[in-house]
Amino acid sequence: MSNIRFTNLTGAVEIGSNCYLLEIEGRRILLDTGSHPKKEGNDALPRLDLIPDDSVDAIIMSHAHQDHIGSLPVAMRRQRRAPVLMTSATALIGDVMLHNSVNVMIAEKSSGGPAEYPLFTHREVDAGSKRWQGRPLHQRFDLHGERAGAGENEVTVEFFDAGHILGSAGTVIRGGGRTVFYAGDVQFDDQTISRAAAFPDFGDAEPCDVMIMESTRGDRAKPEGFTRAGEEQRLATALNDAFARGGAVLLPLFALGKTQELLAMFHGFRKRGILRRDCPIYIGGLGAKLTEIYDKLTDRSARLQQGLEIMDAVDPYVVGGKNVDDLRIKPGRIFALSSGMMSEKTLSNVVARRFLSHPEHTVLFVGYADPQSPGGILRSAKPGDLVSLGADHPPEPVRCQVEVFNFSAHASRETIRDYINRARPRKLILVHGDPGSVNWLAENIRADLPATEVIVPEPGVPLEL
């Protein structure tokens, strides 16, 4: 049986710059290489310096969110011989996301941001993407991306749908008689577009030796009586209540995943007659580009509502950074704009400043917002609290309506626990979670599965497995 070594390169026990080194059967595999959403410059990078240059045999990407793919060009610069393996959808989306990152870094540098920006260039993204290899689900391939043979010493990779966003995948890595499963980000329940994860059923025929599992939502229980259908109805009611008050609605959304899910939801509301068909909906340019990829793959990906082309069905207005100040905040309009955390200078932040003092308007949060971000501060504010949405924004009282909904693309802690209990891994490594989330899952899995070794990996310290 082959030895396995695992090193957490994220820098801390948190939701940050996801990156992990797996060593199996003499091969080195980098699992994701993200950038930290709360940090800037080189501080946002994972600990890539802990890996010798040109020593990695392959880089595997679970999906294209920035906290998983945002430092890929930097990693590829250091690991020039490593093929990059991902699903074909992740390759299409990742190209857009990384080019957008370059644009953001250039803009931030011009506004006094880190001197080292941009950390990579458009040319580097274009050149690097030629080494990306999009691979289908449920097909074993080797670390070069070729169909796997029957060699005893071969290390193989197989993707399984993770249900998180388009292209997201959990990865089974086999080698030396051992099986490792890296979940990436997962959702075990159906969303509006994305189907629930279809992860492997490990058992006696093929036990899972090591499972690497996210724990994003481990710090909160699913509310009693919660259903997605009920949450959708509550959202539709909030929209129509705002319109009845003569107001508009702002939904701060992540451009990737959440924008497409909410647009498809709005389309469903219109079909059911609970949202006016002529209700104008505005989205940002990045959200529009990514929605076009969802539409391009509508018949070529495992998803709900196959055949639905969101841009045609919803017909949203596309807003760019240059014309956001010209937007007219009129009654009965929906502004579904990124960023989801209302980061400074993003579309949602600029528009939110025009909502705060107006009691007829509503801001609806439908996903995660870091408590220290402008979005997190607003969603926890009480009516009348003074809130600043940026360094250049004087505090003003919150008079608009603010509501919070649960349409998370991450699995609940209950469904994660259920899957781990079914899979019964011999060793479980908990990642991608703040300390409270990780600790809840660790304590409960230890109680559920006494024979399973539960590990919370210390950053930068290799673990022999």
pLDDT of residue 14: 83
Q: pTM for the complete prediction?
A: 0.95
Average pLDDT over residues 294-319: 94
pLDDT of residue 150: 58
Percent of the chain topping pLDDT 90: 88
Provide the pLDDT confidence category of residue 16 given band limits of 50, 70 and 90.
confident
pLDDT of residue 460: 95
**What are the pLDDT digits (tens) for 92-150?**
999 999 999 999 999 999 989 999 999 999 999 999 999 999 999 999 999 999 988 75
pLDDT at 1 over 70: no
**What are the pLDDT digits (tens) for 33-80?**
999 988 999 999 999 999 999 999 999 999 999 999 999 999 999 999
pLDDT of residue 368: 83
Cβ neighbour number for residue 419 with a 10 Å cutoff: 18
Cα distance between residue 439 and residue 236, in whole Å:
36
Contact criterion met (CB below 8 Å) for 250 and 262 = no
pLDDT of residue 163: 97
Cβ neighbour number for residue 183 with a 10 Å cutoff: 26
pLDDT of residue 151: 59
Provide the pLDDT confidence category of residue 370 given band limits of 50, 70 and 90.
confident
Cα distance between residue 307 and residue 267, in whole Å:
13
Output the six-digit token pair for 432.
């991608």
CATH of span 4-220+409-464:
3.60.15.10
Provide the pLDDT confidence category of residue 159 given band limits of 50, 70 and 90.
very high
- Tell me the fold of 228-404: Rossmann fold (3.40.50)
**Residue 50: left (phi > 0), alpha (psi -120 to 50), or beta?**
alpha
Domain ranges of the chain: 4-220+409-464, 228-404
The strands making up 84-86's β-sheet, listed across from edge to edge, are 132-134, 84-86, 58-60, 27-33, 19-24, 4-8, 463-464
Cα distance between residue 295 and residue 75, in whole Å:
30
Residues in a beta bridge with 59: 30, 84
Dihedral of CA atoms 97, 99, 104, 110 in degrees, nearest 10, equals 170
pLDDT of residue 2: 74
Provide the pLDDT confidence category of residue 326 given band limits of 50, 70 and 90.
confident
Average pLDDT over residues 339-366: 94
Cα distance between residue 420 and residue 319, in whole Å:
43
Least confident of 208-212, 280-284, 291-295, 391-395: 391-395
pLDDT at 91 over 70: yes
Rank 5-19, 169-183, 320-334 by mean pLDDT and report only the highest: 169-183
**What are the pLDDT digits (tens) for 214-249?**
999 998 899 889 999 999 999 999 999 999 999 999
For 108, how many CA atoms within 13 A lie in the half-sphere containing its CB?
A: 19
Output the six-digit token pair for 206.
């093929």
Cα distance between residue 261 and residue 12, in whole Å:
31
3-state SS string over the chain? CCCEEEEECCCCCCCCCCEEEEEECCEEEEEEECCCCCCCHHHHCCCHHHCCCCCCCEEECCCCCHHHHCCHHHHHHHCCCCCEEECHHHHHHHHHHHHHHHHHHHHHHHCCCCCCCCCCCHHHHHHHHHHEEECCECCCEECCCCECCCCCCCCEEEEEECCCCCCCEEEEEEECCEEEEECCCCCCCCCCCECCCCCCCCCCCCCCCEEEEECCCCCCCCCCCCCHHHHHHHHHHHHHHHHHCCCCEEEECCCCCHHHHHHHHHHHHHHHCCCCCCCCEEEEHHHHHHHHHHHHCCCCCCECCCCCCHHHHHCCEEECCCCHHHCCCCCCCEEEECCCCCCCCCHHHHHHCCCCCCCCCEEEECCCCCCCCHHHHHHCCCCCCEECCCCCCCCEECCCEEEECCCCCCCCHHHHHHHHHHHCCCEEEEECCCHHHHHHHHHHHHHHCCCCEEECCCCCCCEEC
